[in-house]
Amino acid sequence: MNLWLNRLVPSVPADLTGPADLARYELNNAGIRAEFNENSAMGDAWRVEPRLDGSFLLTGGQTGLLYASYRLITGLVCGEEFLGSLSSAPKYALRMINCWDNMDGSIERGYAGRSLFFRDGRISYDPDRMRTLGRAMASAGLNVLCVNNVNVHDPAQRLLEDFLPGLAALADLFRPFGVRLMLSIDFSQPMRHGVSSADPLDPAVRAWWKETAARVYAAIPDLAGFLVKADSEGRPGPFSYGRNHADGANMLAEALKPFGGYVVWRCFVYNCRQDWRDTRTDRPKAAWDHYACLDGTFAGNVILQVKHGPFDFQVREPLSPLLLGMKHTNLAMEIQLAQEYTGHQIDLYTMIPMWKELFDELPADSIMSIAAVSNLGDDENYTGHPLAAVNLYTYGLMAWDPETDAKEAVTRWIRLTYRFAPEQEQTLAGLLLSSRRIYEKYTAPLGIGWMVTPHSHYGPNPSGYEYDLWGTYHKADRNAVGIDRTHAGTGYLDQYPESFRTKYGDPAVCPDLFLLFFHRLPYSFRMKDGRTLIQRIYDDHFEGLEETRDLARELAAIPFPEPDATVIRARMKLQLYNAGEWCDVINTFFHRLSGVPDDRGRIIYD
C-alpha cells in the first residue's frame, strides 16, 4: 500500500543522497528522460521545459527539482500531456503535517490505528513505511512533519534529550523527500532540568533554551522548528508568570533564530472551564481577545498557528477573525485532516470544498504557512478509510496553491490511486465532492455545531455539551435556538472587518448555513426560500439521510479493488447507521422543543 503512489515503483532506495537523487530515481523508473538545471536560489520553485526529443529540462532548487519530477510523473499517470513549459512556486513556505502522536503509540484523535513513529514509550518505525510517507508528502508538495502531539506528556517531554539521536536518524530518513521534522515542545521544559521557572523573561530560562536549541540543531541542522501549545487546555505557558504570549514565543524565537528555525505558536487559548451559566463569555471571541492586541510584537521567526474557525474544527465555522486581523504577524492556518468531528474516518467526508470556501474569504496573502492535523496511522492503508487519503493529497495541492480547482484535485487523486473508467472517475469525484455537504446535513444544523457525543465526538447528542464547561452551547428552548453573536449579542461579530459584519450580521442576509452560528432565531423564522427555520432543520436531516443512502448505492457500483472494497463497504454500513441516528435524534430533539410537525408528514419519533 503506497497511498496514491501505487502505480509508481513499490519503493525507493534507503541510501538516497538528497531530493535531486530521489528525483532522478523516480524519473528513471517512470521512463522519463530529464536534465536537471539546479538553481538553489529557487528553493521549492521549479520550471519544466519539454524538449523536442521527448525529454525535459527541469530547473529549480533541490526540492524544486523533486516537486517538478513528481509533477511530471503523476501527470503522466493521469494521462496529462506536457506540450509547453510549466512553472510553479508554492504559495506557502511551510506546508505542515501535525501528528498528534503520543510516545505510548496512541494517537490523540487518531482514526487509522496506532502511531507510525512511536511505540511503548520510544521511537519505533518501519523505515519502508517512512519512505512511503516521505514520497507521498513530496508528491503532494508537503515539506514539514511534526511527529509528536502538541500535548506533550512524559516521555515525549524527553524527546529533546534522551531521544535526540533517534529523531536525528528520522530526520535523515525524511531529508531526501524534502521533508523537515518539527517538534512539539513543552513550555515548562527547563524546569525538568534544574531551572527554577519557565518564565520567558528569566535569563536562566532564556539561556537554557539557547543551549537546548544549539544542542538540537547540532543533531538536526534543518529542523523546521518548535510547535508550541501553551496556556491551553491545561498546558503550561507564559501566563503562569504574568507574561504574554509574545514574551513566550519571542524567547523561543531568539533561541532558534541562529539556526533558521521557526516557533510555531498555536493560538488555541480559551477558557475550557467556562461555566454553562455564564452568558457573558463567548468562546469564539477568545483567540482574538488574547492575540489581536499583540499584533506586530512577535519576532520574525514566530508563526502564529490559528485554527481556521473560532471554535474547534466543526463542520461549518466562519473564518477565524484572527486570520484577517493580524497584519503585522506571520500566520499559519490550521486545518484538521483527522476527522474528529467529521466522521472518524468512518463517514465519508472530503474536505477540499470546505477549504475552497475558507480561501474564498481569506486573502491569500494573509497567511504565510499552513498546517494540517494528520489523519495518518499504522493501518495498512495509512488513513483508515481508503478514501480519506484524498484529504491528505488534496491538502498538499491546496497548501502549494490555494487556487487549485477542487474537482481537478480530487480527480487527480482518483486517477493516481485507482484505474477506473472515465465515467466511474467522474461519479466518484462527484460523490467525494458532495460528501461534506451530506454529512453536514444529517448532523448539527445550520452552523450550530457541537450536538455531538461528548469526548468521543462521533454520533448525535444534542445536549451533550449543553450543561458542561466547554463553552459550546446552543441554548435551544421551546421557542428559539442559537446564540446571538452580533453587536447586540456577545459582540463576537465586531471582531470582523466591515464586509463580514455586513454579510453575517443581519439574519435576513446571512448565508443559511451560518445562520445559527451568528444568530438566535425562533423556529418560525422565515428563511430566504420561504421555509421556516424548523422546517429547514427537518428537511436538511431527512435529505441528509436520503443522500447518504444514494451515496451508499452509487459507491457500491464502483469497482474498487480489494482490500479497499471491503473496507469501504463496511464503513459505509456504519455511516448509514450513524446518519439514521443523527437524522432521528436531531429531528426528535427539535420536535419535542418546538412542537411543530413536519409539513410533509415524514416520521419524527416521539
Chain residues binding a copy of itself by CB under 8 A are: 276-277, 279, 460-464, 467, 475-479, 581, 584-585, 588-589, 591-595, 605-606
279 or 499: CB nearest a copy of itself: 279
Question: Of 373 and 476, which CB lies nearer to a copy of itself in the complex structure?
Answer: 476
Catalytic residue among 44, 186, 312, 317: 312
- Closer residue to a copy of itself (CB): 277 or 328: 277
Instruction: Choose between 440 and 584: whose C-beta lies nearer to a copy of itself.
Output: 584
DSSP 336-399: E-S-TTTTTTTS----HHHHHHHHHHS-GGG-SEEEEE----SSTTSSSSGGGHHHHHHHHHHH
Residue ranges of alpha helices (H) inside 153-268 are 164-174, 203-219, 245-256
Whether 312 is catalytic? yes
Least CB distance to a copy of itself at residue 213 (A)? 45
Give the HSE-up count for residue 271: Cα atoms under 13 Å, Cβ half-sphere: 15
Annotated active-site residue 211? The verdict is no
What's the rounded Cα separation, in Å, for the pair 372 and 333?
8
**Tell me, what amino acid is at 211?**
E
Matching residue, cell 529523531: 167
What 3-state class would DSSP assign to 172?
helix
CB 392 within 8 A of CB 145: no
Catalytic-residue membership of 340: yes
Q: Shortest distance, CB of residue 593 to a copy of itself, whole angstroms? A: 6
**Nearest CA-CA partner of 22 in 63, 76, 75:** 63
**Min. distance of Cβ 606 from a copy of itself in angstroms?**
6
Judge if the upstream peptide bond of residue 563 is cis by omega within 30 degrees of 0.
yes
Handedness of CA 127, 129, 133, 135 (dihedral sign): positive
Query: Which of 35, 211, 233, 278 is an active site residue?
Result: 233
For the bound state, the minimum distance from the C-beta of residue 249 to a copy of itself, rounded and expressed in Å, comes to 37
Alpha carbon distance 156, 162 (integer Å) = 10
Q: Which residue number, 60 or 462, has a Cβ lying nearer to a copy of itself?
A: 462
To a copy of itself, the closest distance from the beta carbon of 114 in angstroms equals 24
Closer Cβ to a copy of itself, 348 or 483, answer by number: 483
Half-sphere exposure of 324 (CA within 13 A, CB side): 20
- Report how far apart, in Å, the C-alpha atoms of 419 and of each of 4, 7, 350, 378 are: 11, 10, 20, 25
Q: Are 468 and 445 in contact (CB under 8 A)?
A: no
Report the nearest approach of a copy of itself to the CB of residue 281 (Å): 14
Active site residues: 233, 312, 340
